[in-house]
Amino acid sequence: MPESSAVRDVSSVLHPFTNPSSHERGGPLVIAKGDGAWVYGEDGRAYLEAASGLWCASLGFNETRLAEAAYRQLQTLPFMHLFTSRSHSPAIELAERLLRTAPSPMSKVFFANSGSEASDTVVKIVWFYNNALGRSEKKKIIARKDGFHGSTVAAGSLTGIFRNHLKFDLPIANVIHASRPHYYHGARPGESEEAYGARLASELEQQIVDEGPETVAAMIAEPVMGAGGVLLPPRGYFAKVQEITRKHDMLFIADEVICGFGRTGNMWGSQTFGLRPDMLTTAKQLSSAYAPISAVMVNEKVYEVLVRGSEEVGTFAHGFTYSGHPVSAAVALECLKIYEERDIVERVRRLGPRLLDGLRERFAIHPLVGEVRGVGLMAAVELVADKRSRKRFDARLGVGEYCMNKALEHGLVLRALGDSIAFSPPLIVTEAETEMILDRFGEALGATADWLAGR
Ligand SMILES: Cc1ncc(COP(=O)(O)O)c(C=O)c1O
């Protein structure tokens, strides 16, 4: 008898962001194929994939045009790098397209392969920029608690989910974390959203002053904090934050790895929330995740200093073998064409409210539901122990995870971020599938309530 792939997996694969001992006990869910918003296990079971994998498979799981774009490029030019002035047309065309759509004027695009590499790239650029300007003291980068920017050494340091730092000797020097914007839990009794946002912004400014503004170089922020629990910025917060970063001559960086390409109901989360970044990182939906690719856009102010600094060094000595890989670039280009042809942003504006209003209408009154929040086609339902006092569950209970697993039993893939259950279906999800997401989540929530009642 051949061994099952589950057994082979357990004996061979070290999984990212997975508890190894529970994995040894429970094994993997092996997915064999995809179709639209659905994926199928090896046993043929169908799952409605309402997490888009990891917020990324925007066009679902079998868009043939993307497969064909990859195949065409593999046959024409499967590889060429961009080092030492080499180039190829997929990278050029993709860079042009990205610059045309950027939410604030951008000058150049640097390609990498993942959100983490893009984050590492902006950290290096911030440091290089200030060294080139002769400001060797100005190096600290502010990220936010519960922000997620990746898991390589610099990106993992920017990430403010502190469990990710434990035992890895992170964060590295020159990364500091500001408060997370979470109105539901963070506001004082009676504090309006605007007042809360203004308070956080003034706390940020105090932090900069305490550190010494001459030492603080940049701030990075996700327009909506994804992995931190789908946390929306309080009204007025980003306007104030950007005023402060400008005042202290800091660069402002938008991490659009999740928000980019329609997720929030505009092409960029920066447009939804009024951000004017100096640099922007993006990945995931850039290629609908069909091929690994990420991009960093830099504005002219940054680019011009990079040119001068590189002149002194002799080159801009940063990059990856697969920066702008032609196959990934060709897939991303095709993906962006599809977004335009199918007016994906319009689609999100139409379907987003069906999901979010549906969650609110059906579940906001549920005794376990503290808050339903979201924008566009990203949403979260936060489960709490006490609705009135907003008291959280003991994390060891694993309530969010229980609910997520129950949803899976009902053929629905969701993601538990602590006790917030995140929804980010492919942008091609249909109205009928959106209803199905609500129905199946309702089953999972009911089962979670029964389980808690029985304890
Ligand atoms: C906002 C954000 N930035 C960066 C990353 C890191 O991307 P990657 O996993 O491709 O390195 C992620 C991943 O989820 C993310 O959500």
How is 314-337 classified by DSSP, letter by letter? SS-----TTTT-HHHHHHHHHHHH
Q: State whether the beta carbon of 257 lies less than 6 angstroms from ligand 1.
A: yes
- pLDDT tops 90 at residue 308: yes
Mean pLDDT of 310-335: 98
Q: Whose CA is nearest to atom 3 of ligand 1?
A: 149
Sheet with 412-413, side-by-side order of all strands: 31-35, 38-41, 46-49, 412-413
Ligand 1 atom nearest to 117, measured from its CA: 11
397: pLDDT confidence band, cut at 50, 70 and 90? very high
pLDDT digits (tens, 9 = 90+) for 43-90: 999 999 999 999 999 999 999 999 999 999 999 999 999 999 999 999
Residues of the chain above pLDDT 70, percent: 100
Residues of the chain above pLDDT 90, percent: 99
Give the CA count within 13 Å in the CB-facing half-sphere of 134. Answer: 0
Q: State whether the beta carbon of 144 lies less than 6 angstroms from ligand 1.
A: no
Q: State whether the beta carbon of 160 lies less than 6 angstroms from ligand 1.
A: no
Q: State whether the beta carbon of 226 lies less than 6 angstroms from ligand 1.
A: yes
Residue 350 to residues 267, 281, 353, 430, Cα–Cα distance (Å): 14, 26, 6, 10
Distance 259 CA to ligand 1 centre (A): 11
Q: Whose CA is nearest to atom 13 of ligand 1?
A: 150
> Are 225 and 146 spatial neighbours (Cβ–Cβ below 8 Å)?
yes
Give the CA count within 13 Å in the CB-facing half-sphere of 410. Answer: 21
399: pLDDT confidence band, cut at 50, 70 and 90? very high
Element (H, E) at 436: helix 431-454
Q: State whether the beta carbon of 222 lies less than 6 angstroms from ligand 1.
A: yes
Q: State whether the beta carbon of 255 lies less than 6 angstroms from ligand 1.
A: yes
Report CA torsion sign: 309, 314, 317, 321: positive
Ligand 1 atom nearest to 256, measured from its CA: 1
> Are 382 and 399 spatial neighbours (Cβ–Cβ below 8 Å)?
no
pLDDT digits (tens, 9 = 90+) for 150-209: 999 999 999 999 999 999 999 999 999 999 999 999 999 999 999 999 999 999 999 999
- pLDDT tops 90 at residue 455: no
Q: State whether the beta carbon of 154 lies less than 6 angstroms from ligand 1.
A: no
pLDDT digits (tens, 9 = 90+) for 262-303: 999 999 999 999 999 999 999 999 999 999 999 999 999 999
Q: State whether the beta carbon of 52 lies less than 6 angstroms from ligand 1.
A: no
- pLDDT tops 80 at residue 2: no
- pLDDT tops 70 at residue 1: no
Q: State whether the beta carbon of 277 lies less than 6 angstroms from ligand 1.
A: no
Distance 52 CA to ligand 1 centre (A): 14
What is the per-residue pLDDT for 453?
96
Shortest CA distance to 296 belongs to which of 282, 310, 313?
282
Whole-number average pLDDT of the chain: 98
252: pLDDT confidence band, cut at 50, 70 and 90? very high
Ligand 1 atom nearest to 113, measured from its CA: 10
pLDDT digits (tens, 9 = 90+) for 352-387: 999 999 999 999 999 999 999 999 999 999 999 999
Q: What are 439's two structure tokens?
A: 């129905």
Report all structural domains of the chain as residue ranges with CATH numbers, in order of start.
5-62+343-454 (3.90.1150.10), 67-341 (3.40.640.10)
Q: Whose CA is nearest to atom 8 of ligand 1?
A: 115
Element (H, E) at 174: none
- pLDDT tops 90 at residue 137: yes
Residue 348 to residues 209, 266, 344, 394, 415, Cα–Cα distance (Å): 40, 8, 6, 35, 20
Q: State whether the beta carbon of 227 lies less than 6 angstroms from ligand 1.
A: yes
Between CA 102 and CA 117 the distance in angstroms is: 20
Q: State whether the beta carbon of 292 lies less than 6 angstroms from ligand 1.
A: no
Ligand 1 atom nearest to 115, measured from its CA: 7
